[in-house]
Amino acid sequence: MAMGNTFSESNLEILIDARQIASRIRELGEQISNDYRGRTPHLVGVLMGAWVFMADLIRNLSVEATVDFLGIQSYLAGTTSSGEVKITKDLDLSIAGRDVLVVEDILDTGRTYRYLQSVLSAHHPNSVKLVALLDKTARRVVPVEADYVGFPIPDVFVVGYGLDYNQQFRRLPEVRILGEIGRSGDRVIG
């Protein structure tokens, strides 16, 4: 769908507002800091959706943390989700012996994270955990779980706070519902 075919954000219902997001991320930051006390977690942000969340999360950590990014594109073909995942940007730093904390915007079918688990573990990290801001539990196809979840959400397509629909709406400070529209048609998501 072309960028010109736009939805107006004022028509999109707010699911989670900016204050709720900020306060939940403070809690996650505290929990993660406690769990990793004495260690230096290596945050691996999954591009593109996760960078806004990661920027807020890292500022709520009281343990030192290092960062890297991995570029991923998941291709969904309408209702028949192909499950095809492609790396578009590799890690820059070694994760051997590191305590990797994957930072995701949203856990949906679980295919991306399952794929990441196998790619990352091949590089011998000390541990791999996942923090996902949002979790669509009802959509899971692969039985994976996040170690830390910001908000479980229903089966709706959401945008904002880094999440996009065809590159739109990443800038919104809250999470809004795009509805069913986002799931129709072929698209590339990240």
The catalytic residues are 108
In the complex, least distance from residue 52 CB atom to ligand IMP, rounded to whole angstroms: 12
Q: Site for ligand IMP (CB under 6 A): how many residues?
A: 19
Q: Cα separation of 62 and 85, whole Å? A: 33
170 token code pair: 């990443």
Residues 46 to 75 in contact with ligand IMP, rule: CB under 6 A: 46, 49, 74
| Distance, CA of 100 to CA of 45 (rounded, Å) | 10
Return the range that interacts with ligand IMP (CB under 6 A); candidates 27-35, 60-68, 123-131, 155-163. Answer: 155-163
- In this chain, which stretch among 5-13, 55-63, 99-107, 120-128 interacts with ligand IMP, using CB under 6 A? 99-107
Please tell me whether residue 117 adopts helix, strand or coil conformation. Answer: helix
C-beta of residue 13 within 8 angstroms of C-beta of residue 160: no
Paired residues of 186 in beta bridges = 77
Give the single-character DSSP code of 141.
Answer: S
162 interacts with ligand IMP by CB under 6 A: no
CB of 33 to ligand IMP, least distance (A): 24
Residue 41 or 110 having the CB closest to ligand IMP: 110
CB 168, CB 159: distance < 8 Å: yes
- Of 142, 145, 151, nearest to 20 (Cα)? 151
Instruction: Verify cis geometry, omega within 30 degrees of 0, for the bond prior to 54.
Output: no
The stretch among 47-55, 84-92, 126-134, 166-174 that binds Mg ion (CB under 5 A) is: 47-55
d(CA 108, CA 130): 13
Least Å distance, CB 150 to ligand IMP, is: 13
Instruction: Tell me: does residue 116 bind ligand IMP (CB under 6 A).
Output: no
Name the site residues for ligand IMP (rule: CB under 6 A): 46, 49, 74, 104-113, 157-159, 163, 189-190
Name the site residues for Mg ion (rule: CB under 5 A): 46, 49
